[in-house]
Structure 1
Amino acid sequence: MVPTSFVDLVQHVKGAVVNVFAAQVVRGGLPNPFGGPWGAVPDRIQRSLGTGFVIDSEGYVITNNHVIEHASDIRVQTSSNEEVSASVVGLDDRTDVALLRISARNLVAPPLGDSDALQVGEWVVAIGNPFGLSQTVTAGIVSAKGRTGRDVPIDPAGYYNFIQTDASINPGNSGGPLFNMRGEIVGINTAINAAGQGIGFAIPINMVKQILPQLRTSGRVTRSWLGISIQSVTRDAATQLGLPEPKGALVVEVFPGGPAASAGLRSGDVILEFDGQAIRDSSELPWLASTAGVGHIARLDVFRGGSQRQIQLRLVEMPPQRR
């Protein structure tokens, strides 16, 4: 059923949406060593804008990491036009999430919903600051779920499981909330230079809820690690390996001294399940492994040499160079 109006929903939640303004000092260059009339290039201020949303009465605000990354000054404008300074509490570039804190009056904080419960075809509403046009409301449906780094042109090192929507999302919307029709926040809108028009992507709020406690307490996310590099199983690879269909994560490299090496995992193995959860695509495994927890005993279902076997291993903390 198509909603006749979004007025009540917007009036209820718009107070949580804030504009985020970030400024970064970009150092100028050195004078030309061969001489010339201009001398050194002066420093300049690079500005960016985005959106964020309040998550509690204590003034915590979520936005995208790329909106405020490297910023020397961050300002937040609330829905009541109060502009305040924001401090960075925590950052996680792998999920593109940043946690800020502000001191402002009359903050509104809608509930965080369950993005896993979203259904394709469900109505959603985005509120943001596209091109500096604050409190812009757009609506659409959930077009697809589970879009990965393979589907979306974005940093392949990140952990992504995007919600795709046809609600209009443009530069400046980044970091803003995606609401379901109950007024719950189900995603963080992320402006991406997608090839097509009318395609927007949002980070599922359940992914954010998993890392939020660590961002609050330590400012960063500690991740667990298998100690392997992987790639997707293509149809040709599945045929060569004897897999009935292309699924799972193909182990490309096993890092010496890591958990996988100690447990006997080999290059050429295909991981089909992690702790009983099927791996449909290789992009699903890094998130499962990284959030299971340091010290967790993981159970892997592995396809090797035409047969399936179980391997158990104890996860360790991800080395800094792998984060």
Structure 2
Amino acid sequence: MSSPHPGDGPTPPPDSTQPLPPSPYVPYDAVGSPQHDPSWSQQAPHPEQAPQYPTHPQGSAYAMPSTPPSSRRRGPGWAGAGAMTLAAALIAGAVGGIGGGLVAGGGDEGEGPSIVQRDGSPAERPDGSTAAIAAKAVPSVVTIRVSGGGGSGTGSGWVYDDKGHIVTNNHVVEAAGEDGKVRIELTDGSRRDAKIVGRDSAYDLAVLEVDPQGLDNMPIGSSDDVVVGDDVVAVGSPLGLGSSVTSGIVSALERPVSAGEAGDESFISAIQTDAAINPGNSGGPLLNGDGDVVGVNTAIAQVPGQQQTSGSIGVGFAIPSDVVVRTVDQLITSGTAEHPIIGVSLDRRWQGQGAKVLDEDEVQGGDAVIPDGPADNAGIEPGDVITEMDGRRVTDLDQLIVRIRAQAVGDKVTLTVQRGQQEKELTMTLEAAEEN
């Protein structure tokens, strides 16, 4: 896959691909979809100019800031009223809880209900329980408040290291632009000004820097160790309600997710979870049973046909921690992140198994296989169909793209290709896309 921006990759003729359908992974408050240039075939994504890659019949949406930017996205009309309704419900619940506590006191022995006393402090919970995980994690999860020319809103983030770096989603802070304001709010209600260190729309990640005094960084686990069925906990600020904790399981792995507006999409081989994730959860951590970060919550599903997302329907997506660590370290070091490519143009019209490289005569002003690129050096030719990557089946071009993007620049991958009646196994080294 090449990086599809001017001068860096081939541009097929307008009739070489079908018009791209709207991506099912769009900002949660977007209505309709932007127009796309049908001349672009499927290529390696680039944050400045990339086609949309629909991957699933159901829609998905960013778990956007609870008050979305006004200039680029339409805010949901229910957000403010919904937040007030929730606040009223919380107050009513608190009053009811106090009354209930008084009633449940019981009388002398034998005259009332038996009271089972826990050993130790009432606040203690077994290791690995959701309560124990939450107690350790919540102080290191922050609410992010953004205002700027692109609008205002809230999202989530978490403490990455002892230098005051905070990890969040790019779409949480992008509304700040060049001159906007970003602040974090801690669990005690105090706020600190934050500086954007770097952000990357292709992986939908951003790094902030704040005064590190009193902050505890979160332990990070390897997403490669995660399996379907693992218990997970999500922490964040849905609808601006800070320090909210939800739990569930890992529902699926390597779910191809592309989300965002035209030219500003992210491409994720995502962890799918049924832990409730709502607008405002974006950027918050997804934790395993040991309380380690294994993902960054970034998107939620949208029921097909709905114009805007009303909340969690039990299908949320997180960026795997292995990708997060690699990207965040690059953002801290240089302010930018590398994006691996293989240097081919893929055919979205292809209906068969795998991902098909365009034939040479379908490309105008470029090449189906970039000369001296990773694919060319490995022996891939125009018209080849990539059917496997590292011994695992490739079902379509979307899956191939997110698998490539989950790798690091310099990694070696093995591709199985079908060329006519022959099957070949080729090894290539991934290279970095040339960024504008």
Report the TM-score when normalising by structure 1: 0.78
**What residue number does 2:318 align with?**
202
Structure 1 residues 148-187: aligned runs within 5 Å:
148-149=256-257, 157-187=265-295
User: Partners of 2:209 and 2:189 in 1: how far apart?
Assistant: 17
> What amino acid does structure 1 have at the position aligned with 2:433?
M
- SS at 2:328 equivalent: helix
**What residue number does 1:133 align with?**
241
Q: Are 2:202 and 1:94 equivalent residues in the alignment?
A: yes
**What residue number does 2:400 align with?**
285
Q: Which moved more, 1:260-269 or 1:132-141?
A: 260-269
By how many angstroms is 1:10 displaced? 1.0
Q: 1:153·1:193 contact (CA, 8 Å) conserved in 2?
A: no
> What amino acid does structure 2 have at the position aligned with 1:124?
V
**What residue number does 1:257 align with?**
371
Q: Are 2:124 and 1:8 equivalent residues in the alignment?
A: no
> What amino acid does structure 2 have at the position aligned with 1:18?
V
User: Partners of 2:283 and 2:172 in 1: how far apart?
Assistant: 7
Q: 1:226·1:258 contact (CA, 8 Å) conserved in 2?
A: no
- SS at 2:323 equivalent: helix
Larger radius of gyration: 2
By how many angstroms is 1:102 displaced? 0.8
Q: Are 2:166 and 1:61 equivalent residues in the alignment?
A: yes
User: Partners of 1:102 and 1:144 in 2: how far apart?
Assistant: 34
User: Partners of 2:414 and 2:212 in 1: how far apart?
Assistant: 47
By how many angstroms is 1:292 displaced? 4.1
User: Partners of 1:189 and 1:92 in 2: how far apart?
Assistant: 15
CA 1:181/1:262 → structure 2, altered by over 3 Å: closer, same or farther? closer
Q: Which moved more, 1:192-201 or 1:50-59?
A: 192-201
Identity percentage of aligned residues = 35
**What residue number does 1:21 align with?**
145
> What amino acid does structure 1 have at the position aligned with 2:172?
V
By how many angstroms is 1:264 displaced? 5.2
Q: Are 2:216 and 1:111 equivalent residues in the alignment?
A: no
Which of 201, 207, 223 is the matching residue for 2:339? 223
CA 1:221/1:79 → structure 2, altered by over 3 Å: closer, same or farther? same
Q: Per-residue CA shift, 1:161-187, capped at 9, x if unaligned?
A: 111111111111110011111110111
CA 1:313/1:280 → structure 2, altered by over 3 Å: closer, same or farther? closer
By how many angstroms is 1:293 displaced? 2.3
User: Partners of 2:321 and 2:234 in 1: how far apart?
Assistant: 14
Q: Which moved more, 1:219-228 or 1:178-187?
A: 219-228
By how many angstroms is 1:278 displaced? 3.0
CA 1:231/1:113 → structure 2, altered by over 3 Å: closer, same or farther? farther
By how many angstroms is 1:70 displaced? 4.0
By how many angstroms is 1:159 displaced? 2.2
Q: Per-residue CA shift, 1:216-256, capped at 9, x if unaligned?
A: 1111112343221225796xx44xxxxxxx3x322136155
CA 1:118/1:228 → structure 2, altered by over 3 Å: closer, same or farther? same
CA 1:114/1:68 → structure 2, altered by over 3 Å: closer, same or farther? same
User: Partners of 1:62 and 1:171 in 2: how far apart?
Assistant: 17
Q: 1:82·1:104 contact (CA, 8 Å) conserved in 2?
A: no
What is the root-mean-square deviation of aligned Cα atoms in Å? Answer: 2.8
- SS at 1:303 equivalent: strand
CA 1:183/1:313 → structure 2, altered by over 3 Å: closer, same or farther? closer
Q: 2:167·2:328 contact (CA, 8 Å) conserved in 1?
A: no
Q: Are 2:236 and 1:142 equivalent residues in the alignment?
A: no
**What residue number does 2:97 align with?**
none
Q: Which has the higher contact order (CA 8 A, sep 6+)?
A: 2
Report the TM-score when normalising by structure 2: 0.59
Structure 1 gap segments, 5+ residues each: 27-45, 239-245
By how many angstroms is 1:13 displaced? 1.4
CA 1:104/1:299 → structure 2, altered by over 3 Å: closer, same or farther? closer
CA 1:5/1:289 → structure 2, altered by over 3 Å: closer, same or farther? closer
**What residue number does 2:25 align with?**
none
- SS at 1:172 equivalent: coil
Structure 2 gap segments, 5+ residues each: 1-126, 305-312
By how many angstroms is 1:92 displaced? 1.2
Q: 2:273·2:316 contact (CA, 8 Å) conserved in 1?
A: yes
CA 1:4/1:104 → structure 2, altered by over 3 Å: closer, same or farther? closer
By how many angstroms is 1:192 displaced? 2.9
Q: Per-residue CA shift, 1:79-102, capped at 9, x if unaligned?
A: 232211111111111111111111
User: Partners of 2:381 and 2:296 in 1: how far apart?
Assistant: 37
CA 1:214/1:83 → structure 2, altered by over 3 Å: closer, same or farther? same
By how many angstroms is 1:140 displaced? 1.1
Q: 1:140·1:166 contact (CA, 8 Å) conserved in 2?
A: yes
**What residue number does 2:230 align with?**
122
Work out the number of aligned pairs and report it: 286
User: Partners of 2:314 and 2:266 in 1: how far apart?
Assistant: 24
By how many angstroms is 1:113 displaced? 0.9
By how many angstroms is 1:4 displaced? 9.9
